[in-house]
Structure 1
Amino acid sequence: MTDDLSHLLNHLGEDRAHGFDAVVPPVVQSGNFAYPTVAAMRAVVQQEFERPLYTRGFNPTVAIVRRKLAALEHAEDALLFSSGSAAIAAAVIAFTKAGDHVVCVHKPYSWTKKLLSELLVRFGVETTYVDGTEAENFRRACRPNTTFFITESPNSLTFELQDLAAVAAIARERGIVTLCDNSFNSPLFQNPIDLGIDLVAHSGTKYLNGHSDVVCGVLAGSAAHMRQVMAREFMTLGAAPSPHDAWLLMRGLRTLELRVHRSADSAERVARFLEAHPKVRRVHWPGLASHPQHALARRQMRRCAGLMTIELDASDEAAVERFCDSLRRFLIAVSWGGYESLQWPVCALKGPSGYYTDLPFTLVRLYIGLEDPDLLIADLQNALARM
């Protein structure tokens, strides 16, 4: 990658003169900050978003990470939240009010859908879900009171993409604010702001942290948009991360470039192996030429990241469970983006009254971690043989 990226990940925002000349910036693990005089505090109160007064608003450790995240997403500013869900919630609430209408891609992250369908609807905000594979569906769903578009390209289970530039153009015609959940790609593989999107959200828990030991979220955009969110929703809802979590995220960013490319390299090998296997009906991964939106993926993404879903050729749940339980190198867990390979089977979404989803039980999502891809392929081959 470029020298600029190397500098950004390893040095940007790190003034060592403010950290006792330590090579690694210290964790400023303090809830509040004291000043010697009333006049000194009065000056800080007027600049609460830029100077340390109370850690919810500004913290020196968090500030370093915010600067790096904004630069990664080609944004003017970024906010760090205690989770990705908090970042998305703050963004939607900031740009909607009672009586407004939202258009959202039809298979968003489950907690994004809960926010829209179970929470905001109680306060008079309606949502229409559309098939995002056709940008014109966003236009068709618009009403006079539509104020916000939500995209997730690709989504994190069936990996459907949206043409972000086309969706952004439709929104600009109507003065609609746009958001893209970019967690699948990381900022290294896709930058929605460059395609005209206003706001970019991340689950920082995933690739940005990369070590499976932090839950956090990111929202990036223009300085004006970030100031609006910070002054109201961020400060009022209080979903701020701890300084230690911010420091851990900064540590993860050091190796972001190495990790995401390693995962993507291995994912390509695994996807091609699975696509050729007779017990796999389909591999949902935009990096394969067989993906129906492969051309769009090549146009708006630099690479395809290490998350995919396979559809097993299984007639019953027992066969799917045998496959999953036979895997030794893929932990059964949610999330992705860490060092470890993971599997998340749809057949786990079953309660006493049936499935919680209308997705087929034959789907298993795989995250390709940093292990040797030959070991992962051998593990998959063994598990498929046991179906």
Structure 2
Amino acid sequence: MDLSYILNELGEERDQYYNAVSPPVMQSSNFAFNTVADMRSAMSDEFDATLYSRGQNPTLNILRKKLAALDGAGDALLFSSGIAAISTSVLALVKQGDHVVCVENPYSWTDKLFRHLLPKFGISTTFVTGTALSDFEDAAKPNTRLIYLESPNTFTYELQDLEAVARFAKARGIITIIDNSYCTPLFQQPIKLGIDLVAQSATKYIGGHSDVMAGVVTGSCELIRQIFEHEFMNLGPALSPHSAWLLLRGLRTLPLRLQRSFESTQVITNWLAQHDNIDTVLWPFSTTFPQFELAHEQMQGCGGLFSIALKNSSYAKIEAFCNSLQHMLIAVSWGGHESLVMPAIASIPPEKYDVDNPRHQYIRVYIGLEEPQYLINDMQQALEKVKLLETVYS
């Protein structure tokens, strides 16, 4: 299916809404029926009916078709946040006594899901590095029900060989799910590599304007219906129609924004790699990245998110660099038009900072839609201020 068709036409029955070019926001929570028989039919199968917007909604259904098609999936479910999409789907797939294998250092709230929430229900998790297939082979048990992936993750960018993991999991009857927020369907299509379910924080690249919270899960019609009919409808993590409309708007420009961020990041990471005051640049498409070849094999492009470490890094130096930036914002998340930084020390008290722990030193950078030189100039002046401070206090 052609990308332009998916983004601009799929699911948009314009003759049903006065031929409006932009689909309307069907804000109604409730939908009426002409007969009791019609209501009975809708109530018997809310997955395929428009009954109550906690389940399905016309505006959401347009978006649902597009996101499923982008992933090459049978269907999709929309959620009020990325972690709602992940947590609801995982809860739908596991039961008491099951075991999960999860990659180390996933998104923080995903980590809490596996470490703190699921154990309350008798579900155990083994965390693995995941950079080798043997990590999963060694960790799997007879009661392993699910393998959770995040490739790449969003701080140190470790990859998993998705095709190899999917092949192993299918042979053992294990379901696989991946957080694909970093790449989006445009730069990585896990379902084509054999992964069962794909989750995304649509808050990020899909929305693209830092003004909507949303999540999505795509997969086979059977798995998506399984998630919908029980955990989704019981927990009620529904996306609002207006948020769905904002995501439809974001999809129109997704290829342009993603490519712009990718190309700018290439320029900026190359500049940083040559800078005297930069020790490390972590980005999957950098030639120095340990899994550079795998990144090129299973990713069609790379997001605008990477991490750096300053030379002779210290808590004060990291903080001074971030505070000295004039145009790049200090904030979480990514995927919008604005460039951001988020240092690891934002969640580490000064007394717990470990100068020998590389993860403590990393500053995560997101490159938005500004001109690359504009951002380079900003980082250069911040690095010069840090160097001046070092000179003064040395």
TM-score interval, smaller chain: over 0.9
Residue range with higher mean Cα deviation, 88-97 or 222-231: 88-97
Instruction: Work out whether residues 201 and 220 of structure 1, in 8 Å CA contact, stay in contact via their aligned partners in 2.
Output: yes
Measure the CA separation in 1 of the matches of 2:351 and 2:146.
35
Select the structure that is richer in helix: 2
Q: Which of 207, 210, 221 is the matching residue for 1:212?
A: 210
Residue 42 (structure 1) shift: 1.5
Q: Which residue of 2 aligns with 1:312?
A: 310
Instruction: Work out whether residues 313 and 362 of structure 1, in 8 Å CA contact, stay in contact via their aligned partners in 2.
Output: no
Q: Which of 228, 231, 238 is the matching residue for 1:230?
A: 228
Residue 170 (structure 1) shift: 1.0
Gapped regions of structure 1 (runs ≥ 5): none
Aligned residue runs from structure 1 range 33-48, under 5 A = 33-48=31-46
Q: Which residue of 1 aligns with 2:188?
A: 190
Deviation by residue 1:1-39 (Cα, 9 ceiling, x = unmatched): xx8101111111000111122111100001111113212
Deviation by residue 1:271-314 (Cα, 9 ceiling, x = unmatched): 00111112111101011110000000000000111100001113
Aligned residue runs from structure 1 range 94-113, under 5 A = 94-113=92-111
Deviation by residue 1:31-90 (Cα, 9 ceiling, x = unmatched): 111113212211222232112110011100000000000001110101000011011111
Measure the CA separation in 2 of the matches of 1:282 and 1:243.
43
Q: Which of 49, 54, 57 is the matching residue for 2:55?
A: 57
Q: Which residue of 1 aligns with 2:367?
A: 368
Task: Report the secondary structure of 1:311's partner residue.
Answer: strand
Aligned residue runs from structure 1 range 287-298, under 5 A = 287-298=285-296
Aligned residue runs from structure 1 range 1-387, under 5 A = 4-351=2-349, 354=352, 360-387=359-386
Q: Structure 1's 349 and 381: CA in aligned 2 closer, same or farther, altered over 3 A?
A: same
Measure the CA separation in 1 of the matches of 2:189 and 2:337.
23
Instruction: Work out whether residues 315 and 350 of structure 2, in 8 Å CA contact, stay in contact via their aligned partners in 1.
Output: no
Instruction: Work out whether residues 314 and 320 of structure 1, in 8 Å CA contact, stay in contact via their aligned partners in 2.
Output: no
Gapped regions of structure 2 (runs ≥ 5): 387-394
Which residue type is aligned with residue 116 of structure 2?
E
Measure the CA separation in 2 of the matches of 1:304 and 1:9.
20
Residue 361 (structure 1) shift: 3.1
> TM-score, length-normalised on structure 2?
0.95
Deviation by residue 1:129-187 (Cα, 9 ceiling, x = unmatched): 00111121001001110000000000000011000011111101100000010000011
Q: Structure 1's 263 and 178: CA in aligned 2 closer, same or farther, altered over 3 A?
A: same
Alignment RMSD (CA, Å): 1.5
Measure the CA separation in 2 of the matches of 1:323 and 1:355.
16
Task: Report the secondary structure of 2:360's partner residue.
Answer: coil
Residue 352 (structure 1) shift: 8.0
Which residue type is aligned with residue 380 of structure 1?
M
Measure the CA separation in 1 of the matches of 2:179 and 2:237.
18
Which residue type is aligned with residue 337 of structure 1?
G
Which residue type is aligned with residue 29 of structure 2?
G
Which residue type is aligned with residue 364 of structure 1?
I
Which residue type is aligned with residue 318 of structure 1?
A
Residue 348 (structure 1) shift: 1.1
Task: Report the secondary structure of 1:157's partner residue.
Answer: coil
Instruction: Work out whether residues 306 and 369 of structure 1, in 8 Å CA contact, stay in contact via their aligned partners in 2.
Output: yes
Measure the CA separation in 1 of the matches of 2:173 and 2:143.
11
Task: Report the secondary structure of 2:119's partner residue.
Answer: helix
Measure the CA separation in 2 of the matches of 1:49 and 1:197.
23
Residue 380 (structure 1) shift: 1.0
Task: Report the secondary structure of 1:49's partner residue.
Answer: helix
Instruction: Work out whether residues 349 and 355 of structure 1, in 8 Å CA contact, stay in contact via their aligned partners in 2.
Output: no
Which residue type is aligned with residue 279 of structure 2?
R
Measure the CA separation in 2 of the matches of 1:220 and 1:234.
14
Deviation by residue 1:349-374 (Cα, 9 ceiling, x = unmatched): 13487469x76432100000000011
Measure the CA separation in 1 of the matches of 2:349 and 2:313.
20
Q: Structure 1's 109 and 235: CA in aligned 2 closer, same or farther, altered over 3 A?
A: same
Q: Which residue of 1 aligns with 2:390?
A: none
